[in-house]
A and B are shown apart, each in its own frame.
Chain A
Amino acid sequence: MDAYLDGLLDELVTAEPREAWADVLHRARRSRRRYMALAALVGALVLAPAAWAAVNAFEGTPAPPAISQDFTQLNTMADLAVQQGIAAKWPHADVSKAHGVIEIQTADGPEDVWTAPSDEGGQCYFIDWANDPPEQDGSQYGFGGCPPAIPPASNISWGAAWIAGHPDLVTVDGNVYVDASTVQVTLDDGSTVTLPLVEHVFLGSLPKGSVVDKVTAFDAAGNVVARATAAAG
């Protein structure tokens, strides 16, 4: 009876596979766009303190190979900069210690900042969107760098970046060089947005066209501990 049953099952489904890995990659990209509107709503939650629990869950995630490759490429660029005389010395990332620091939700899906200690005592960073498919060379699309370990006079180094792959977003990120609990950015229209701060790093996503005037860091008691303006950046 078992052999008979096996025979029936064998005849039940004849689904010929059609290998199409390119289609899988295409679907992975398409879904990101399909849920963009919903993600925009979720993205607004980033600005609410309640969303910070999710932010913290990401901290310490070991960097996947694609992100490690991005840090390796930063090191390659650093070598090139020194070889070509652009700088006498350039920080290098300790790729083996690269890890996730903050993940926020944006209209384009989760946006992550990863860091790796630099050999000059600071932190190198790389920012990417988790749902982006990998590049041809296996690295992850995004941007990063190794800022100097020496703090600026304002004790905050920050930047507001727009990249071609995510044209509807402006990423605000940076480092606070003193102990702080939260970071608040003030836009040119006077509105403020509070961003998560983890391991002295902060990350936020703003709609296209947003202009940041000021970044302020606060301690747990709400006292201002550092402030940087756009002019002093």
Chain B
Amino acid sequence: MVDELEALYRERLPEFTRAAAAIAGDPEAGRDAVQDAFAKALRKRRRFRGEGSLEAWVWRIVVNAARDAGRRRRRRVAAPVPVEARAQELGLPLELLTERQREVLFLHYFADLDYTTIALGLGISTGTVGATLSAARETLRGALTKEAC
């Protein structure tokens, strides 16, 4: 199990880091969340019962760690977090999305996860993943089209 966790870490670190950074809203906080999440996965490895993939189980821990890191960061600093500031620069209206829509979008886009892994990672159904992703894209598309007109 330790070997499998280490292999997953080495193989998928770029995806974990990028998605965690997006969810936390800050690249440094995202990196930190990934490190903490894998440390937690190591400590709790016996709790993994093989229901779903190991990767999905780890994603759930990473998402929770990134969420917590983001909330801590936002409580400490009043200014927009780096990812939100970058979104504003790019004209990407992330503020129109709910937290869940952002998470589904980030996991799909930055980690290239399938619906099942996203569902297991976020603790929602695969149907909800599809619907949430469509709604998020529709919202962003609509806002960008309106801006372009």
> A28 interface residue, CB < 8 Å from B?
yes
Give complex CA distance A8, B94 in Å. 11
Q: B6: CB under 8 A from chain A?
A: yes
Which of A60-68, A74-82, A182-190 lines the interface with chain B? Answer: A60-68
CB <8 Å contact, A27 and B36: yes
A77-100 vs B, CB cutoff 8 Å, 1 = contact: the mask equals 000000000000000000000000
Q: A63 to nearest B CB, angstroms?
A: 10
Residues 120-139 of A at the B interface (beta carbon under 8 Å): 130-131, 133-134, 138
Interchain nearest-CB distance for A179 vs B (Å):
29
Which residue of chain B has the shortest Cβ distance to A6 in the bound complex? Answer: B109
Q: Say whether A24 contacts B42, CB under 8 Å.
A: yes
The docked-state distance in angstroms from the alpha carbon of A222 to that of B105 is 60
Question: For residue B46, which residues in chain A have a CB less than 8 angstroms away from its CB?
Answer: 61, 64, 130
Closest to A32 in B: B43
What is the number of residues of chain A that contact chain B, defined by CB distance less than 8 Å?
Answer: 37
- 8 A Cβ contacts from A1-36 to B: 1-2, 4-6, 8-9, 11-21, 23-28, 30-32
Contact across chains for A64 and B13 when beta carbons are under 8 A apart: no
Measured between alpha carbons, how far is A164 from B35 in the docked complex, in Å?
Answer: 28
Q: Point out the residues of chain A lying under 8 angstroms from B18, CB to CB.
A: 13, 15, 17
Interface centre among A6, A13, A24, by most chain B C-beta atoms within 10 angstroms, is A13
| A133 contacts B92, C-beta separation under 8 Å | no
What is the distance, in angstroms, from A83's C-beta to the closest C-beta of chain B? 31
Taking a contact as CB atoms under 8 Å apart, the answer to whether B110 and A13 are in contact is yes
Q: Which residues on B sit within 8 Å (CB–CB) of A133?
A: 42
Given contacts A12-B87, A14-B27, contact A24 B2 (CB under 8 A): no
Instruction: Looking at the assembled complex, report how far the CB atom of A201 sits from the nearest CB atom of chain B, in whole angstroms.
Output: 18
For residue B72, CB closer than 8 A to chain A, the reply is: no
CA A135 – CA B43 in complex, angstroms?
A: 14
Contacts of A25 in B (CB 8 A): 39, 42
**Residues 4-35 of chain B: 1 if any A CB is under 8 Å from the residue's CB, otherwise 0?**
00100110011011101110000100110001
Binding site for A on B (CB under 8 A): 1-3, 6, 9-10, 13-14, 16-18, 20-22, 27, 30-31, 35-36, 38-40, 42-43, 45-46, 83, 86-87, 90-92, 105, 109-110, 137, 140-141, 144-145
Please provide the 8 A-B residue pairs with the shortest distance between their CB atoms, ordered closest to farther. Answer: A27-B39, A15-B21, A15-B27, A28-B39, A17-B17, A17-B13, A28-B42, A24-B38
